[in-house]
Structure 1
Amino acid sequence: MNNQLFQQARAAYAQKDFQGALEAYQQCLQDEASPLAPGEMGQLYHQMGNCLVKLKQPNEAIQAYGQAVADEAYDARGGVHYNLGMAYAALHDYEDAVANFEAAASDAKYDSAYKAYTGMGNALLKMGKTAEAGVAFRNAALDEANPDPTKALLNLGVCFMALNRAADAVSSYESALQFDMQPEMRNRLYANLGQAYVATGQMQKAVNAFEESIADKTYFLSDSASVDYQRAVAAVAQGTSEITQVMAPVSVPGGAAPSDSADLSGIDVAADGSAMYAEQDPYAAQQADPYYYGDPYA
């Protein structure tokens, strides 16, 4: 490979000149004077795919990534499959997204399986497969390489609520509180926890959780959470802070019937979002989250 061109491409990418980087990578690929070593074709197509993602061209990125994974000598195909999953998700092709996230997670050389599991969970929720999504979020939360398991934990709690397993959701949200997180995320977590407490009849705890979520006056409860808050306040005022009969939450996003093939029993970790789960946005979140479209050579 023409190393000079390759370094020029990397420099252009680092300077956010993605079109220039793309053209330089293409020149590397086409330079007959500098034959490619095993694995370098996959490497170049991987980088070209990353450039195309940055240029908001997911269809073209998918084609480039497809060429990268076809190079069996390339040893970073797990990361490419993750990127493919994100690109397909951007096109709302969730079945292909899940297939690629699964391929990434099963690649022993891919050291960020939690990213693939998180993407998988989000895609499965879009498909209405709540139980399977819960399994994916659980795997993301339990991955020791995950530097911030709170999103996966919060999302898992949302799945439990959708599966009418409020007690498990409580355990999940409470587990998530053990981790450091941004104030906005913590507020959303407490709002979710308040609704889970209401669903399990723990009204005083619900009131405390809701009040914690709005204490800094930067967070506003959703309509359903506001209704649950008032229910909890009324119950406490009437001296019934503990209700033995479990109450159904006012509303649960993404509700779906449990899947017989995906048993979530025994899950003891947590989930994400207030009345919503925390979704990976393959474009809007790129700047905030360095793990989107990982570039192993940058």
Structure 2
Amino acid sequence: MNWQNDLQSPPLSAGERVLVLEAEPGPERREVLAGWLARARAGKTLFSQVLDCDFSRGGVWAGVAELLGALLPRIRAVAPSLLVSHDTELVAILPQLRETIRPRHQSLVDLASDEERFQIHALERADRLLHGAIALLAGFHSADTARGPWLLVCEHFGRAGALSRRFFRELVRRQGTHLDLTLLVVVDPGEGDATCTELSRACRVSRARLRLAPEPQDPAPVAAEVQHAHAQAARELEHRVQGEPEAVEASLPRLIKLWEQSAEPENALRWRTEGLRLCVRQGYYEDALRYGEPLLHALDALSSGDPKARWDILGKLSACLAATGRAAQAARLLEEEVLAKSDAPALLARAYYTLAVYHARYLPTRDLRTAEQCVQKATEEVSRLEPATNEARTMTLLINNALALVRLQEGKPEEALRICQASLALLDAHYGPDERPLQRAALMLRLAELFLVMGAHDEALTHYSAAIAIDPSQADYYGMRGVAAFKAGRLLEAEADFQKALTLGPPSAAIWVNLGQCYRAMERAEDAIRAYSSALALESENVLTLVGRAQAHELLGRVEQALADYDAALQLTPDDAPVLASRAVLHYEAGRLQASLADLDRAVSLAPDTPEFHQNRSVVLSDLGRRAEAIADLSTYLRLQPDAEDRAEVEEKLSGLREALRTEQDS
């Protein structure tokens, strides 16, 4: 890569969408960007904007909120219906809009207070929000009569949060051509390699490097009067947003930054605590850690000996770590900061309960014995609490849920069922039918899961319906019931549930995949392809979706399209034996015997005990005249599957191959 002294305009070759620019931050970089943007605006650019993606300035949606805010007046004028159909995404990204936009579909998880929340959002929800925002922009562009390229400058991209980075990557992947979008991604020196690698998953990426004067490495200490001004500005902002949750959420980055630049930086910690809380409520688990991890250094001061305050931080941090695939780190955190440092029974009970769930489900190596030991220790700690309190009852219900999970993982669903039924009796004995709705819903889901494992499909569907009756706006519940209906063979009911789930919130790749599977089972191949394609638009690197669409293409006899999807799937998982075998069948039907044999050889080497692979390879080998090898494969097939329904047919074929081989050898 060559060093440059200026940014050329246009900076990209035809067909390219993204330029990663590495340059020292500071006034010179801002001047270069301003000059380049001015030259671009002098052309035919329809919309251009410099977006500050710095998490410390804009929070989780830094850059994204600025983009939507700039376009909102035009969206309201051109396509106001989009403000309704994308209400959930808009109020999540621009919380100040909650004063004028009330989302149509809010689940109990959205509405419940922190004390009442016994469930958290799935990790997928954050991605659904960003994809919904992308769909909003695409819909606006289609409705707008004005035409021309879009130019977005993502300043401080290396300092962006996880969701903001993912939004711009997915925006250019999904809508780069539709919007005629050019994305200039600006990063500090040393951040270019990682940024190029990340964005190259979406499209081709070009790169430039400007040699600019660096900012001073050791700035002079902030003068006392400046620090005082920052503290005063922070207090004034606190006063303005007091009692206004949406204003607090929108002002969090500013509050934190002001206090950290003052002589009282410890005051920033309580706002970081608030940032952690809000991110966990919304399901922004990756970005929640940006707020929460610095709190560990001041944990004792923040909790002041209050076990509940300590758990409010540690419980949320561990949940974020576990949700983002770092359950081992989450477990260590609880062991080091709770088990080793506290003797408060409520705090210990929650920590042991959480560790039980981690050992039973989330840790890389499942350890049911340790999980059960944690359940026992949690129960012992609950026995130290006042027995008739809500806290004791709540913990008993949670611990029962963990024990039921352990029994389920042990292959004892009937025992798990009895534990859940005991929890339901406890709820009924101490709370009215409208109390503790989220705990009731969670219990209905666990019971439904158990009945499904036991093959009691009607009971499973009944309990999923009970959860839906408690929280009819929760899209995930419809998705779960749809899966149960699918497994029960009730495909029309499954289709209806998947369709309902899609109407209750931003787009979901998982629901689209399940709908595609449903349509394929109904032999509605065209509908299946549309559903799978919708899923791939949201999540392009999903093997299950690619394979499902390939099989739907096969139903319609579209061999080349099916092969393209199998090829894409194998690019992601080259050692997927069933996919190799499926592609081999298509190669065979197209007369490409050597390609078919190569795939089957690989499939057999990966899964030598799969009878069908040997049988299929014997057909190809026979057609190639390699009878001895075909005989060996058919013999292996019968050895692996001695009770095969087609045994007589296979033995007859073996006899014919042996006769042909003898004739060949005699001649």
TM-score (normalised: structure 2): 0.30
What amino acid is aligned across from residue 457 of structure 2 in structure 1?
A: P
SS in 2 for 1:108: coil
Aligned counterpart in structure 1 of residue 517 of structure 2, from 119, 122, 128: 122
Contact 1:12/1:20, CA 8 A, preserved across alignment? no
Of stretches 204-213 and 54-63 in structure 1, the one that deviates more from structure 2 is: 204-213
**Aligned pairs (5 A) from 1:145-160:** 149-160=542-553
Q: Are residues 1:8 and 2:391 paired? A: no
Percent identity, aligned pairs only?
Answer: 16
Q: 1:224: Cα distance to partner?
A: 6.4
Question: Which residue in 2 is equivalent to 1:48?
Answer: 447
Question: Which residue in 2 is equivalent to 1:164?
Answer: 557
Question: Which residue in 2 is equivalent to 1:221?
Answer: 613
Q: Are residues 1:136 and 2:560 paired? A: no
Task: Determine the C-alpha separation between the residues in 2 that align with 1:217 and 1:51.
Answer: 31
The structure with the largest strand share of the pair is 2
What amino acid is aligned across from residue 43 of structure 1 in structure 2?
A: A
Q: 1:23: Cα distance to partner?
A: 1.4
Q: 1:202: Cα distance to partner?
A: 4.1
Aligned counterpart in structure 2 of residue 26 of structure 1, from 412, 417, 424: 424
Q: 1:207: Cα distance to partner?
A: 3.7
Q: Work out the number of aligned pairs and report it.
A: 224
Contact 2:577/2:607, CA 8 A, preserved across alignment? no
Contact 2:417/2:447, CA 8 A, preserved across alignment? no
Of stretches 21-30 and 170-179 in structure 1, the one that deviates more from structure 2 is: 21-30
Report which of the two structures shows the higher radius of gyration computed on alpha carbons. 2
Task: Determine the C-alpha separation between the residues in 1 that align with 2:448 and 2:405.
Answer: 15
Q: 1:229: Cα distance to partner?
A: 6.1
Task: Determine the C-alpha separation between the residues in 1 that align with 2:456 and 2:606.
Answer: 40
Q: 1:143: Cα distance to partner?
A: 3.8
Task: Determine the C-alpha separation between the residues in 2 that align with 1:117 and 1:85.
Answer: 12
Q: Are residues 1:180 and 2:573 paired? A: yes
Task: Determine the C-alpha separation between the residues in 2 that align with 1:229 and 1:134.
Answer: 33
Question: Which residue in 2 is equivalent to 1:189?
Answer: 579
What CA deviation, in whole Å up to 9, does each residue of 1:225-257 have, x standing for no partner?
A: 7546655x47xxxxxxxxxxxxxxxxxxxxxxx
Question: Which residue in 2 is equivalent to 1:211?
Answer: 601
**Aligned pairs (5 A) from 1:222-241:** 227=619, 230-231=622-623, 233=624
SS in 2 for 1:61: helix
What amino acid is aligned across from residue 221 of structure 1 in structure 2?
A: F
Of stretches 63-72 and 198-207 in structure 1, the one that deviates more from structure 2 is: 198-207
Contact 2:442/2:467, CA 8 A, preserved across alignment? yes
Q: Which runs of 5+ in 2 are unaligned?
A: 1-389, 408-414, 626-667
Larger RCO (CA within 8 A; separation ≥ 6): 1
Question: Which residue in 1 is equivalent to 2:188?
Answer: none
Q: Are residues 1:90 and 2:487 paired? A: yes
Q: 1:203: Cα distance to partner?
A: 4.5
Task: Determine the C-alpha separation between the residues in 2 that align with 1:194 and 1:32.
Answer: 61
Question: Which residue in 2 is equivalent to 1:240?
Answer: none
TM-score (normalised: structure 1): 0.62
SS in 2 for 1:164: coil
What amino acid is aligned across from residue 420 of structure 2 in structure 1?
A: L
The structure with the largest helix share of the pair is 2
Task: Determine the C-alpha separation between the residues in 2 that align with 1:44 and 1:191.
Answer: 42
SS in 1 for 2:579: helix
Task: Determine the C-alpha separation between the residues in 1 that align with 2:605 and 2:440.
Answer: 54
Contact 1:114/1:143, CA 8 A, preserved across alignment? yes
Task: Determine the C-alpha separation between the residues in 1 that align with 2:449 and 2:622.
Answer: 48
Q: 1:85: Cα distance to partner?
A: 1.5
What amino acid is aligned across from residue 491 of structure 2 in structure 1?
A: Y
Seen in structure 2, the aligned counterparts of structure 1 residues 188 and 7 have a Cα distance that, compared at 3 Å, is closer
SS in 2 for 1:15: helix
What CA deviation, in whole Å up to 9, does each residue of 1:166-207 have, x standing for no partner?
A: 0101111111111136x5xx2222222222234445444334
Task: Determine the C-alpha separation between the residues in 2 that align with 1:40 and 1:67.
Answer: 12
Question: Which residue in 1 is equivalent to 2:128?
Answer: none
Root-mean-square deviation over aligned CA pairs: 3.2
Contact 1:85/1:97, CA 8 A, preserved across alignment? yes
Question: Which residue in 2 is equivalent to 1:67?
Answer: 466
Task: Determine the C-alpha separation between the residues in 2 that align with 1:80 and 1:132.
Answer: 23
Contact 1:160/1:166, CA 8 A, preserved across alignment? yes
Seen in structure 2, the aligned counterparts of structure 1 residues 215 and 80 have a Cα distance that, compared at 3 Å, is same
Seen in structure 2, the aligned counterparts of structure 1 residues 225 and 149 have a Cα distance that, compared at 3 Å, is farther
